[in-house]
């Protein structure tokens, strides 16, 4: 089992998750060991070593040091859990934020502990192929495969352990074709699989608890005793073929004419501009509606149609309802069971049960726009939003182009402020940074 997970930034512990009761002296000694290993760690490498009856797995990335203490027989910590933890951490906080963190208030990291708990739970319930039941993939066996399969086979061989998402990132074939190719390799008797939730990882050999040589970190995807299972079937592969799409995800453009903006404005009397800001900046909005009070999804459908009004020209990725953690990067709107609320301590939450907005960033311009709509019919709100959002996005695109090309900025800013006000300039800049600077 995984007994302890700590994260340090520049030697300062910011997250300390301890799953086994131990005395203060043990934890103090662990802190000393962690700081010592952090000083020796090489960026871009995953390493592990034994300390008595405990295996330590660790890595340093962008000033953040990750260390995991587990039983010596725990397999897959190096290959799967640590890369997942690192990616999840930087997906939430960003490398630039971590590198520039001044070492002050560590409470900004507090909510991430719940995400670690979820990841650990998913890892503990993983399903692994039984050791010795598959052929080991090596260079010679790859050469024996049909040529159409060799590209993916070499990618897996080079990585040793890799997720489906990583395979897609390194090939130019469709997810459907990748599924077929992987299944053919599986049918040939190669590859060990590990399933964590809706994610599948492929290994050239069975994951072992023994110590390995230092490994180069590769980009992963988020989320005790391993349960043995045969190789995954075609149906299972298809279900997880694109690991960027969690279960229940729908990509659709809702009917804005069926929405009810006046209803939403009446229900949420404060901070609705934060919801607007979240959607227009293409950040995840967390939605809470009690399933027991909305069994026919009447309120849910009205809300989704209404929230679409804040993005009238684009499709939204929507999770209608989940009782499992969905990474905020995977969807635009995620309706969750209330028990998951703590997992989203950094995201904007629209709580329709309690008629309030939690978190998010205020925008005076958007707040004034919502105030203007408070006396309008829904159709009038839609017309106004289509016009204003198009204006914001056009200005943001132009502003992003100016910044990327290092063109003179002052004349453009003066023009925007004189025509639309300084509050428009602020939301324009925010949308440019979040949407159009990549």
> How large is the average pLDDT for residues 341-370?
93
Cβ–Cβ under 8 Å, residues 438 and 400: no
- Coil, helix or strand at residue 40: helix
Is the model more confident about 352 or about 51?
Answer: 352
- Coil, helix or strand at residue 243: coil
> What share of the chain has pLDDT > 70, as a percent?
91
- Coil, helix or strand at residue 66: strand
C-alpha–C-alpha distance, residues 305 and 154, integer Å: 46
C-alpha–C-alpha distance, residues 74 and 78, integer Å: 10
Most confident range (mean pLDDT) of 26-30, 310-314, 403-407 is 310-314
Strand-pairing partners, residue 18, are 4
Can you give the pLDDT at residue 245?
A: 58
Give the contacts of 187 (CB within 8 A, at least 6 positions apart): none
Q: Which helix (H) or strand (E) holds 59?
A: strand 54-61
Packing angle, helices 378-404 and 272-280, rounded to 10 = 50
Residue 61 predicted with pLDDT over 60? yes
271: left (phi over 0), alpha (psi -120 to 50) or beta: left
φ, ψ for residue 324, nearest 5 deg: -125, 155
> How large is the average pLDDT for residues 255-284?
96
> How large is the average pLDDT for residues 346-374?
95
* Dihedral (Cα; 267, 270, 273, 277), 10-degree rounding: -90
Q: Where are the alpha helices (DSSP H) in 194-297?
A: 234-239, 261-267, 272-280
Q: Which residue has the tokens 């990583």?
A: 166
DSSP class of residue 203 equals E
Can you give the pLDDT at residue 323?
A: 86
Can you give the pLDDT at residue 438?
A: 67
Cβ–Cβ under 8 Å, residues 385 and 310: yes
> How large is the average pLDDT for residues 319-334?
87
pLDDT digit string (tens) for 217-259?
Answer: 443 333 322 223 344 444 444 444 444 456 788 999 999 999 9
378: exposed, middle or buried (Cβ count in 10 Å: 0-12, 13-18, 19+): buried
* Ordered domains of the chain (ranges, CATH): 2-124 (3.30.450.60), 129-239 (1.10.10.10), 245-438 (3.40.50)
Cβ of 271: how many Cβ atoms within 10 Å? 19
In this prediction the pTM is 0.51
From residue 171, give the alpha-carbon distance in Å to each of 22, 23, 157, 203: 47, 49, 14, 18
C-alpha–C-alpha distance, residues 220 and 237, integer Å: 18
> How large is the average pLDDT for residues 426-434?
94
Q: Which of the four pLDDT bands, split at 50, 70 and 90, describes residue 21?
A: confident
Q: Which of 243, 236, 223, 218 minimizes the C-alpha distance to 164?
A: 243
Residue 210 predicted with pLDDT over 80? no
DSSP characters over 121-137: HHHHT-EEEPTTSSBPP
> How large is the average pLDDT for residues 94-112?
87
Can you give the pLDDT at residue 318?
A: 96
Is the model more confident about 237 or about 401?
Answer: 401
Residue 213 predicted with pLDDT over 60? no
Packing angle, helices 82-93 and 112-124, rounded to 10 = 150
> How large is the average pLDDT for residues 399-420?
93
> How large is the average pLDDT for residues 49-58?
89
Can you give the pLDDT at residue 53?
A: 83
Can you give the pLDDT at residue 380?
A: 97
C-alpha–C-alpha distance, residues 191 and 341, integer Å: 37
Q: pLDDT averaged over the chain?
A: 87
Can you give the pLDDT at residue 27?
A: 82
Cβ–Cβ under 8 Å, residues 357 and 342: no
C-alpha–C-alpha distance, residues 73 and 129, integer Å: 16
- Coil, helix or strand at residue 199: strand
Cβ of 178: how many Cβ atoms within 10 Å? 19
Can you give the pLDDT at residue 294?
A: 92
Strands (E), 197-301: 199-203, 215-216, 227-229, 249-252, 285-288
C-alpha–C-alpha distance, residues 381 and 383, integer Å: 6
Specify the range with the lowest mean pLDDT, choosing from 17-26, 152-161, 350-359, 414-423.
17-26
Is the model more confident about 437 or about 66?
Answer: 66
DSSP characters over 314-363: S-EEEEEEESS---GGG-SEEEE-GGGGGGGTTSEEEETTTTEEES----
Q: Which of the four pLDDT bands, split at 50, 70 and 90, describes residue 437?
A: confident
Task: Return the percent helix, strand and coil in the chain, to nearest 5.
Answer: 45, 20, 35
- CA gyration radius for the chain? 24
């Amino acid at each position: 089992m995984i007994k302890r997970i700590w994260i340090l930034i520049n030697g300062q512990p910011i997250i300390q998750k301890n799953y086994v009761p131990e005395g203060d002296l043990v934890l103090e000694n662990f802190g000393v060991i962690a700081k010592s290993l952090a000083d020796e760690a090489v960026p871009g490498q995953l390493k592990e070593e034994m300390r008595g009856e405990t295996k330590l797995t660790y890595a340093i990335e962008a000033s953040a040091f990750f260390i995991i203490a587990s039983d010596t027989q725990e397999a897959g910590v190096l290959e799967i859990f640590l890369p997942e933890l690192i990616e999840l951490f930087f997906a939430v906080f960003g490398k630039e934020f971590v590198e520039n963190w001044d070492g002050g208030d560590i409470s900004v990291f507090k909510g991430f502990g719940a995400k670690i708990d979820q990841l650990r739970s998913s890892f503990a319930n993983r399903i692994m192929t039984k050791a010795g039941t598959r052929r080991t993939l090596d260079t010679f066996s790859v050469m024996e495969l049909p040529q159409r399969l060799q590209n993916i086979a070499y990618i897996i061989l080079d990585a040793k352990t890799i997720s489906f998402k990583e395979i897609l990132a390194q090939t130019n074939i469709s997810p459907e074709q990748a599924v077929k190719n992987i299944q053919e390799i599986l049918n040939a008797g190669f590859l060990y699989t590990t399933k964590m939730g809706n994610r599948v990882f492929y290994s050239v050999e069975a994951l072992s608890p023994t110590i390995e040589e230092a490994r180069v970190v590769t980009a992963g995807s988020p989320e005790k005793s391993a349960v043995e299972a045969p190789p995954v079937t075609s149906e299972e592969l298809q279900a997880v073929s694109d690991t960027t799409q969690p279960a229940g995800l729908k990509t659709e453009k809702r009917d804005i004419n069926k929405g009810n903006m006046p209803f939403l404005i009446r229900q949420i009397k404060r901070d609705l501009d934060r919801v607007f800001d979240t959607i227009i900046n293409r950040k995840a909005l967390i939605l809470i509606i009690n399933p027991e009070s909305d069994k026919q999804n009447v309120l849910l459908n009205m809300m989704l149609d209404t929230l679409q009004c804040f993005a009238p020209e684009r499709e939204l990725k929507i999770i209608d309802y989940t009782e499992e953690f969905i990474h905020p990067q995977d969807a635009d709107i995620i309706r969750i069971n209330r028990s998951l609320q703590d997992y989203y301590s950094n995201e904007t939450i629209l709580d329709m049960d309690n008629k309030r907005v939690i978190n998010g960033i205020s925008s005076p311009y958007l707040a004034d726009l919502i105030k203007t709509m408070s006396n309008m019919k829904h159709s009038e709100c839609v017309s106004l939003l289509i016009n204003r959002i198009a204006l914001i996005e056009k200005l943001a695109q132009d502003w992003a182009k100016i910044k990327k090309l290092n063109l003179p900025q002052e004349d453009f800013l003066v023009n925007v402020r004189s025509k639309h006000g300084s509050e428009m300039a602020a939301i324009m800049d925010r949308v440019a940074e979040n949407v159009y600077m990549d």
